[in-house]
Amino acid sequence: MSSLLLRAAACALALCLAACATAQENGDAEHALPGFATNTAKRTIELSELRAGGPPKDGIPSVDSPAFIAPGEAAGWLEPQEPVVALALGGEARAYPLQILTWHEIVNDEVGGVPVAVTFCPLCYSAVAFDRRVETPGGIQTLEFGVSGFLRYSDLVMFDRQTETLWQQLTGEALVGDLLGTQLTVHPAQIISFEQFRAAYPDGVVLSRDTGYDRAYGRNPYAGYDDIARQPYLYDGPADGRLRPMEKVIALKLDGAEKAYPYALTRERHVVNDEAGNIPLVVFHAEGAVSALDAAEIADSKAAGSTGVFDRRAETPSGPQTLTFRWDPGSESGAGSEGRFVDEETGSRWSITGRATAGPLAGTELTRLPHGDYFAFAWLAFKPETEV
């Protein structure tokens, strides 16, 4: 039941898409996207940019009534090194295992009183958590998202079930429909290992496999896809010669600046102190999680590491300070991987989740910044002005 094979087998849907442009040219907006009630008269893209991904509308089912369990219970089927999307909002922390998200791509949820959509496009390795509330002429509306079956630049195109507007998953931008011009708000989330989530959030919970669907959770339907020598699936976007298409990057857009940090750099250095616009930031990359898209069994996959991006400004006993971080290999201190990020100013040790675990600043938490771990082609297709 390979998702790549399902995506590749959508001949009928491809023929429908071929008819979309003709229907639009004829002014027949109502039927321009078969099966959708989307207002195609409002759009920022040509409908021909939408490609059949394989499964039809809702063929990859979103999880709309998620159930959660304690980490101890999840440990029966989730290995310590497996990757999860960690999201902390309003005093609550939740882990969304990629072994589940790979099969569903969207979880409609509420965390700390905030309605969110936790999304993952396996073809781009893009995990993004969005606020489901949008401003409309009639006031604030809370949307529920589904998988449209379309791809654009190999990235998941979502749709909302209230207006059937189509949305780009990687950017959160409305592409086609009544909510055109709307940009979803991103909540900072990070991909870390299940073990690291348990250590950082002892009261956190984990998305249950009890989704209402029978899927081979734990198996990777995209076996071998995370390979720098491969070409992206169904990608027809612009080429960027600065990085190989399937090279992993940690990327962000912050204070008007767009930056991408290649894994080849961050896995070696572990720490990058930088600025984006006027915001001082630090990129952390530690041991921890394996890839979700390598081996047939996710738990057996190659190491990818865990990442985080944080504001370097913190309150210290001396007042507000901009910290400078370094990596301590632990050869002399014996520090574990969760204490190897050290700030030069106070000597405090920090975890991959941005919390000081020892030293004068113990208990202090850095402000998490929105970022993502992406295949380079995907980020650069939508953000070509990015500084690498």
pTM as predicted: 0.90
| Closest-CA residue to 385 (of 246, 282, 216, 240) | 240
Quickly count helices (H) and strands (E) in the chain.
7, 28
pLDDT tens digit string along 72-126? 999 999 999 999 999 999 999 999 999 999 999 999 999 999 999 999 999 999 9
pLDDT of residue 339 exceeding 70, the answer is no
- Angle among Cα 2, 50, 132 to the nearest 5 degrees reads 85
What is the structure's pLDDT at 337? 55
Q: How many residues does the chain have?
A: 388
What is the structure's pLDDT at 4? 53
* Percent of the chain with pLDDT strictly greater than 70: 90
pLDDT tens digit string along 207-223? 999 999 999 999 999 99
| In contact, 296 and 223? CB cutoff 8 Å | yes
- Angle among Cα 37, 38, 43 to the nearest 5 degrees reads 165
pLDDT of residue 25 exceeding 70, the answer is no
Please report the sign of the dihedral spanned by the C-alpha atoms of residue 60, residue 66, residue 67, residue 68. Answer: positive
Secondary structure (DSSP) of 330-372: -TTT---GGG-EEETTT--EE-TTSBEEESTTTT-BPPB---E
Report the alpha-carbon distance of residue 140 to residue 123 in Å, rounded.
Answer: 32
Which stretches of 194-289 are DSSP H helices?
A: 194-200, 263-269
**Bridge-based pairing state of the strands 205-207 and 92-97:** parallel
* Percent of the chain with pLDDT strictly greater than 90: 85
Q: What are the two backbone dihedrals, phi and then psi, of residue 69, each rounded to the nearest 5 degrees?
A: -135, 165
pLDDT of residue 198 exceeding 90, the answer is yes
| Other beta carbons within 10 Å of 26 | 10
Say how many Å lie between the first and final Cα of the chain, rounded.
37
pLDDT tens digit string along 237-290? 889 999 999 999 999 999 999 999 999 999 999 999 999 999 999 999 999 999
Report the alpha-carbon distance of residue 347 to residue 46 in Å, rounded.
Answer: 54
| In contact, 97 and 141? CB cutoff 8 Å | no
